[in-house]
Amino acid sequence: MVQSSLTELDAVLMVARRGKFRTAALELGVSTTALSNAVGKLERTLGIRLFNRTTRSVSLTEAGQKFVAQIAPAVQDIHEAMEIARSQQATPSGTLRINAFPTAAREIFSWLILPFLRVHPRVHIDIVTEGRLVDIVAGGFDLGVRSSDLVPVDMIALPLGGARRNVVVGTPSYLKAHGTPMIPQDLAGHSCLRVRLPDGAIYRWPFEKDGQSVHIDVEGALTLDEASLARTAALASAGLTLAMESDVRDDIEAGRLVPVLEDWTPTLPPLSLYYPSRRNPTAAFKAFTSFARRHSEARDTPRPSTG
């Protein structure tokens, strides 16, 4: 009788879903070598090749397509059965997989993720950050975090905090040397840190005031796709950067960075934690969503005046 571990089946399904061994390995939290070995072991057991492999791409063979189509529902049923069993535990444990925009992950990390883990040390949280929109169900995630206006309508959404905004910032020395822009069009005379989106397009900086909106295609010596690099460059006086206010709040309060064009910076929708309806949520899942709801409400509650 052919016997294969659930790990090997999960490996095949993830590679089929992602189309790359490296990406699949990252999502499963294993090395690329371990993932390749698991797939290879299953192929030897079955006596067929499941994937066509080249140096640039991975695709299912015809036999692999049929195999994946047949096992995918069964593997999902097995995982759901395991979740049902775990849901009977009194103490939350196991892994929660969360997909989030990088900025969203940074915003919730200190006030939600780390405090939750201190209260529930037997839970493991696996966070995957991606700039693109992701189908969390197809991707095998338990929860997602994104701007509330981007949450799919068929998902249950839990608000996380209030409105947010971007800020344009530069160092005092940069502004002293190059001047302070007063309107968005003034950015044409400044070195700005350009940001590349996941689809390869360059992000145009959005501004709004008194019903007037404008998007500026800024120019500068650097184009980056990582917010932490843009912050580092701005702190080195390489130019102005557009950043999430939460990412640079400490720098602004310490005087390392100075916000400009504040009256032109629009507010952004709040973040939401979202997930599909679940018939039998695990103890860890219920604990996390309850924890998020309590802490989000506490952050939104106005503090009493001491004056």
Mean pLDDT is highest, among 101-110, 167-176, 206-215, 266-275, for 167-176
pLDDT at 90: 67
The yes/no answer on whether domain 164-268 falls in CATH 3.40.190.290 is yes
Res 201 pLDDT > 70 = yes
The domain locations on the chain are 6-73, 94-156+270-300, 164-268
User: Quick one: pLDDT band at residue 146, thresholds 50, 70, 90?
Assistant: very high
Q: What is the percent of the chain where pLDDT is above 90?
A: 55
* 24-42 pLDDT, tens digit each: 888 888 888 988 899 999 9
Query: What integer is the mean pLDDT of 273-290?
Result: 88
At the fourth CATH level, the homologous superfamily of domain 94-156+270-300 is Periplasmic binding protein-like II (3.40.190.10)
Selecting from 1.20.200.10, 1.10.760.10, 1.10.10.10, 3.40.50.300, what CATH number does the domain 6-73 have? 1.10.10.10
pLDDT at 89: 62
Query: What integer is the mean pLDDT of 211-230?
Result: 91
Q: What is the percent of the chain where pLDDT is above 70?
A: 93
User: DSSP letters of the chain?
Assistant: -----HHHHHHHHHHHHHS-HHHHHHHHTS-HHHHHHHHHHHHHHHTS--EEE-SS-EEE-HHHHHHHHHHHHHHHHHHHHHHHHHHT-SS--EEEEEEE-HHHHHHHIIIIIHHHHHH-TTEEEEEEE-SS---TTTTT-SEEEEEGGGS-TTSEEEEESS-EEEEEEE-HHHHHHH---SSGGGGGGS-BEEEB-TTSPBPPEEEEETTEEEEE----SEEES-HHHHHHHHHTTS-BEEEEHHHHHHHHHHTSSEEE-GGG--EEPPEEEEE---SS--HHHHHHHHHHHHHHHHHHSPPPP--
pLDDT at 302: 44
User: Quick one: pLDDT band at residue 178, thresholds 50, 70, 90?
Assistant: very high
* 230-245 pLDDT, tens digit each: 999 999 999 999 999 9
Domain 6-73 shares a fold with domain 94-156+270-300: no
pLDDT at 304: 44
pLDDT at 225: 84
Res 67 pLDDT > 50 = yes
